[in-house]
Amino acid sequence: MSSSVLFVNLRRIKREGLESLLAARRLGHRVILLGRALPEFAQPLVHEFHQVDTYDLERSLKLAREIAGAHDIVGVPNFTEIDVQLVSAIAADLGLPGLSAQAALSARNKYAMKQALSGVAGVLPRYARVSDLAELRNAVADIGFPVVVKPTGASGSKGILELRTEADLEPAMALLQRIADPAFDPVFRQFGAEFIVEEYLTGTELSVEGFVAGGVVHQVAVTDKVTTEPFHLELSHRLPSVLPAAALAEIRTRTEQIVGALGFDNCAFHLEAKWGEHGMRFIEVAARPAGDYIASHLVPLATGIDFFANVIRVSTGEPLRLTPDREMQAGLRFVLAESAGRFDGLTGLADLVEDPGYHHVFTEVPVGADVALPPDNFGTQRVAAICARHTDRAGLDRLLDTAGTAVTATVTGGRE
């Protein structure tokens, strides 16, 4: 009987979901998919699909046991944010490598995460957990403006709000209470209307991509990133980072301390932080590979390392393969809709892609679909992504900065 890996759902971005399935195929595994739906693009690469509401932990565990009874399941790789705890529970139940239950909780709940890091000096912002306006007022009085507030269990930059004056508090809490509802996004079935308010951090934003396997931390890349204001949608990623060597050394040391304190093991990780006058300050870390094409495309383009294949290897206990075969700069720039309405396509793209430095163009919203902007919707403003690669950062910056001005989204029928 051929070995199989058990996937739990696929990533929201279709191309990332496709690449995860292709990685399993490259390693010679059959894919059994447990999830809410089987996308059309995945059908040729999935050997069996079992439909289940994966927010229902007990039902999903029961089905996973039945699947394991019929197949040689050698790993339960995790590619998604919302399934970290379920994958941890399935792996433990089947006796396969995975996160502990406590580490999975710390990875998913931003307040539990900060609590678990209380012993790591000098990296945490001041923070507090809040659930209503009165608690928010008290927390801000203690922390001081400006602050950032967000749901403890959100993903994909949903509900990240900056608060700079007293007048911001009441409308922010009203908006957060509306966002942190399963009717707005099913992710809030897990932790609901619980929020964390944190000291606003200044500095250069970055992320660290890596793995923990057998208790050993492997850091693959540091990514420089840019986010939008004020809702912090991720706009651009470029790697490897061009921060000074001393900064990168501290970031590597702090990253190892953080994932160790959280008890991460047998997983990929994507850690977000800022580098500034006080060194590295921690934002959050996920126990899964980075999205936004970082793990699926940018790391392989820059280093030759097959990140998604290693996500599967870490779930099966196989040795990781992390030796780079190139030293390139890779990055992407998202194309944003500037107003709500009907997305009618991209202008400026045809001339742009004549330059061979542009490696991929991904559309994230179908032509003809409606788009909305934050805070009404956090998932449709980014309509496309343009990936590029160059031998040096100056060349990469030129490619991506040009893309940011030359390619625009055409949106009609909406309002500002």
Least confident of 145-149, 161-165, 374-378: 374-378
Question: What is the Cα–Cα distance from 216 to 207, expressed in whole angstroms?
Answer: 19
Residue 41 exposure: Cα atoms within 13 Å on the Cβ side: 13
Look up residue 349 and give its amino acid: L
Which residues, including other chains, have CB under 8 Å from residue 394's CB and lie 6 or more apart?
none
- Percent of residues, the chain, with pLDDT higher than 70: 98
* Beta strands at 370-371 and 195-199: parallel, antiparallel or unpaired: unpaired
Interval 268-319: pLDDT, tens: 999 999 999 999 999 999 999 999 999 999 999 999 999 999 999 999 999 9
Interval 247-269: pLDDT, tens: 999 999 999 999 999 999 999 99
Question: What is the Cα–Cα distance from 70 to 53, expressed in whole angstroms?
Answer: 21
Q: Is the pLDDT of residue 188 over 80?
A: no
Question: What is the Cα–Cα distance from 211 to 228, expressed in whole angstroms?
Answer: 28
Interval 333-388: pLDDT, tens: 999 999 999 999 999 999 898 999 999 999 999 999 999 999 888 889 999 999 99
- Average of per-residue pLDDT across 135-145: 96
The DSSP call for residue 215 is: T
Q: Is the pLDDT of residue 246 over 90?
A: yes
Give the pLDDT of residue 193: 78
Give the pLDDT of residue 353: 86
Interval 20-43: pLDDT, tens: 999 999 999 999 999 999 999 999
Measured in residues, the chain has a length of 416
Give the pLDDT of residue 416: 44
The closest alpha carbon to 254, from 235, 271, 236, belongs to 271
Domains identified in the chain and CATH numbers: 4-96 (3.40.50.20), 98-122+203-325 (3.30.470.20), 126-199 (3.30.1490.20), 328-415 (3.30.470.20)
* CA distance to 128, 132, 307, 349, per residue, from 135 (Å): 9, 5, 42, 48
